[in-house]
Amino acid sequence: MKHNYPSIQIIKYIYNELDAPEHLETEYAIEHNPTWSESYHKLKSAYSALPKVSFFPKSGVINQILVYSTMA
C-alpha cells in the first residue's frame, strides 16, 4: 500500500531532496492543488524563519585531522 504524505513530500521538495520526476509531480501538485499550495506556503514560511547556520572548522583542526590521517 502506498501512502501519500504531502507534508513530507513538500519538505523534501523545499530541501531539493526529490528525484526529477517526483520534483515535477510535487511542483505540479503545489501549483494546481489548493491544499498542497497552502501546505507549501506554510512550510516554506517556517523554513525561511529557520536560522541559516554553517559550520566551518578552524584550519588548525583540519590540519590536525590531515596529520592524523597520514599516521594510520
Identify the pLDDT of residue 56: 86
Q: Is the pLDDT of residue 3 over 60?
A: no
Q: List the domain boundaries for the chain.
A: 6-71
pLDDT category at 43 given cuts 50, 70, 90 is very high
Say how far apart CA 42 and CA 38 lie, in whole Å.
6
Q: Find all residues with CB under 8 Å of 44, minimum gap 6, and list them.
A: 14
Q: What is the pLDDT of residues 51-70, one digit of tens each?
A: 888 788 889 999 999 999 99
Q: Are 43 and 7 in contact (CB under 8 A)?
A: yes
Lookup: cell for 1: 500500500
- First-last CA distance in the chain: 48
Q: What is the pLDDT of residues 7-40, one digit of tens each?
A: 999 999 999 999 999 999 999 999 999 999 999 9
Q: Are 37 and 30 in contact (CB under 8 A)?
A: yes
